[in-house]
Amino acid sequence: MTFTTPDHLKQHLVNSITTAFIKEVQDKCNHKNTQVDTHKKEGIRYDHTYTGRYIICAEERLEEKSPVFGWEEPRFYPHYSNIIKDAQAQAESACALLEQRIAQHHTKKEYIWKTSDLRVNHANDLIEGRVYGHVYDYIADERTIEERREATKFEIYVRMIWNYRYGSNSANGHLTQYTQFRSERHGAEMEGKSAQKAKDDAARAERQAKLQAEKDAKKAEKWERFSKLAVQMEKWSDKKIKALGYYLTDEGIEETKRSVESWGNTWTQERLDHHIKIYSNDIEKLNILRNDTRTWQNDMTKLRAVFDKGIDTRPKLVEAYNVFGV
């Protein structure tokens, strides 16, 4: 049997958390109402502020506009439904923590058969006590079963501790009550992986499988887009080669010469040689890219090899061939 928090312990947690939560919020409401009365008595302007999800601001419409409140005088009350809802959530978290703590001390093959000694100590309002278990085997021989149970008996001692966070230090701005549980196992030693560890490992494996599936799906979508680049980049590089090639023609060189001279510079043989070298190098790099794109279109496995190296986007491909900005 997997340990489940008994209902009377759940209700104790709900009651303890709700009672303390309501008291903290009621104290704040009383403080706010005292402020309202003081402002009203002394004629000091009262600024209306947001009170959050645990305090209700009930405003009374005034017959005449007040210099203190305007048209509406506020009064503050606990928002009981929200308090109870969130207190229930805190209690459920505490129960889950208790169940995890006990599950850390037994395996899936072990059976928790007695929980009645785990109870509320009303002297300190804490849950403490023991649960008992043993290995559960399906064996035909009843006497062997009893011997096995006797030999594998164990008990788990648990004691609860309250932790309180008030005001701005709390998760809700008023009071958050955190529970901790100290626990230890006595009796037969636990053999193998605990039930909680097995559960955690299974959950971790499921999360990892989900993340891997998402990763694979994103990679497949990325490859689908990248695989189309072979055709696109061939057209792009071909267009670039023709555009750059113009500047190696007599007409293109003459145009460059006029541009240089328009800035007051002299067109020299050295400038001409540099001009030809730069454009020739860029065209050569583009030619390499264009030839590879044509190869990829006939053999996509080669493009996939590039993709698997991490060159998986157009900008990365352009950078890899050093034609960025060409």
For residue range 166-224, list pLDDT tens digits in order.
888 888 888 888 888 999 999 988 877 777 777 787 788 888 888 888 888 888 889 99
Structural domains counted in the chain: 2
H helix runs in 104-191, sequence order: 142-151
**218 domain residue, yes or no:** no
Q: What is the pLDDT of residue 325?
A: 63
Same domain, yes or no: 181 and 129: yes
Same domain, yes or no: 18 and 161: yes
Exposed/middle/buried for 223, CB within 10 Å: 0-12, 13-18, 19+? middle
Length of the chain: 326
Same domain, yes or no: 236 and 290: yes
Which residue has tokens 């030809």?
Answer: 276
Same domain, yes or no: 51 and 150: yes
CB 74 within 8 A of CB 56: no
How far is the C-alpha of 114 from the C-alpha of 117, rounded, in Å? Answer: 8
Which residue has tokens 């328009």?
Answer: 262
Same domain, yes or no: 52 and 185: yes
From residue 232, alpha-carbon distances to 16, 218, 235, 285 in Å are: 68, 22, 5, 17
CB 114 within 8 A of CB 131: yes
Same domain, yes or no: 51 and 178: yes
Same domain, yes or no: 172 and 69: yes
Same domain, yes or no: 183 and 263: no
The residue range of the domain holding 172 is 7-192
pLDDT tens-digit profile of 36-89? 999 999 999 998 888 889 999 999 999 999 999 999 999 999 999 999 999 999
Same domain, yes or no: 184 and 114: yes
**217 domain residue, yes or no:** no
pLDDT tens-digit profile of 150-171? 888 999 999 998 888 888 888 8
How far is the C-alpha of 63 from the C-alpha of 60, rounded, in Å? Answer: 10
Same domain, yes or no: 52 and 183: yes
Q: What is the DSSP letter of 3?
A: -
Same domain, yes or no: 181 and 79: yes
- List, in sequence order, every residue forming a beta bridge with 184; answer none if it has no partner: 157
Same domain, yes or no: 129 and 47: yes
Q: What is the pLDDT of residue 289?
A: 94
**205 domain residue, yes or no:** no
| pTM attached to this predicted model | 0.58
Q: What is the pLDDT of residue 25?
A: 94
Report the run of H or E that residue 160 belongs to, with start and end. strand 154-166
Mean pLDDT, rounded, for 88-104:
91
Which residue has tokens 């497949």?
Answer: 220
